[in-house]
Chains A and B, each alone.
Chain A
Amino acid sequence: MDVFLFFLFAAVAVGCAINLILQKHPISSAISLIGVMVSIAVLYLLLGAEFIAAAQVIVYAGAIMVLFVFVIMLLNTGAEEDGPSNAMSNFLGVPLIFVMVGLVSYVMMQIAPSAQLVTFGSFTGGKAEDLGILLFTKYLLPFETTSVLILIAILGAVVLAMREVDE
């Protein structure tokens, strides 16, 4: 069952990701990205990360993608047009990305123990309780710094919006 679920949702994730970069209209790309995020959430559950899976659906597929879809709706620019393509990025960048993926896959096959199989339920450390304890003891300073980061992000968004009003 674990193998079947992994292959099903890995295939959905890769298929949606390829659809994301092939679609010409931004809204189709956004729907594909939601598909990728939901299937990655199922893979998180298989890896025993319950809290992260819930946060993935709520924060990523919910909040962030709604923001994207809202901006696409607000700007309503239609499909993207074909422009002059950059030969450097198409004929050097894309093959180099494939080389990078191949190298990373090779290294992962070498370092990760292939005898250790991922089975659902064998690692239960990802509960909200465990994350909360770690977040408020070992990672307290980064957690508090995050609040400053979000405050700065709010200020930045408000300043950018105010500049529009001035014009």
Chain B
Amino acid sequence: MIDLAGGGVPISWYLILSAILFGIGATGFLIRRNIIAVFMCIELMLNAVNLSFVAFSYMWRQVDGHIFTFFVMVVAAAEAAVGLAIILTIFKNRGTLQLDRINSLKN
């Protein structure tokens, strides 16, 4: 089915790789307890979605998918700046980055 010497892989394999990376990111979001690690898992999910945008762009031979990827990158940069500022404030007020210790609303 796949010729190793020439040609390429089907476009669906890129989309499946994107789904796998998104799944790994979502799993990390559920099982990690460090707030910075959870934030990095969100970045991984954004990257996976970007890969599928570029793959669809290749599939339809249009550049619009690249533009969406560009906007996702811009939003991710803004999100990282604000999110890390929030993380710094949380650490200053609480002295911990463990997500299950940040539970004042529970009591």
CB pair B98 A81 closer than 8 Å: yes
- Which residues of the other chain, B, contact A134 by a CB distance below 8 angstroms? 63-64, 67
* A68-B40, A134-B64 as given contacts; A21 in contact with B27, CB under 8 Å: yes
CB pair B31 A156 closer than 8 Å: no
The answer for the CA separation of A108 and B20 in the assembled complex, in Å, is 12
The answer for the CA separation of A135 and B63 in the assembled complex, in Å, is 10
CB pair B82 A101 closer than 8 Å: no
Which applies to chain A's interface (DSSP): helix, strand, loop or mixed? helix
CB pair B85 A160 closer than 8 Å: yes
Docked complex: A97-145 residues within 8 A CB-CB of B: 97-98, 100-101, 104-105, 108-109, 112-120, 123, 125-126, 130-131, 134-135, 138-139, 142
16 contacts between A and B (CB under 8 A): A2-B6, A2-B9, A3-B7, A17-B24, A40-B51, A44-B51, A49-B69, A52-B66, A80-B37, A93-B30, A108-B16, A117-B10, A125-B57, A131-B63, A135-B67, A161-B88
* Nearest Cβ on chain B to A137's Cβ, whole angstroms: 11
Binary interface encoding of chain B residues 69-95 relative to chain A, with 1 for a CB under 8 A from any of its CBs, else 0: 111011111111110111111011000
- Which residues of the other chain, A, contact B75 by a CB distance below 8 angstroms? 146, 149
State which size class the interface on B falls in. Answer: 35 or more
- The tally of CB-CB contacts under 8 A between chains A and B is 257
- Which residues of the other chain, B, contact A84 by a CB distance below 8 angstroms? 100
- Which residues of the other chain, A, contact B67 by a CB distance below 8 angstroms? 131, 134-135, 139
CB pair B88 A108 closer than 8 Å: no
* A6-B9, A67-B80, A118-B8 as given contacts; A97 in contact with B92, CB under 8 Å: no
B101's closest neighbor in chain A, by CB?
A83
CB pair B8 A36 closer than 8 Å: no
* Nearest Cβ on chain B to A108's Cβ, whole angstroms: 4
B16's closest neighbor in chain A, by CB?
A105
* Nearest Cβ on chain A to B89's Cβ, whole angstroms: 5
* Nearest Cβ on chain B to A117's Cβ, whole angstroms: 4
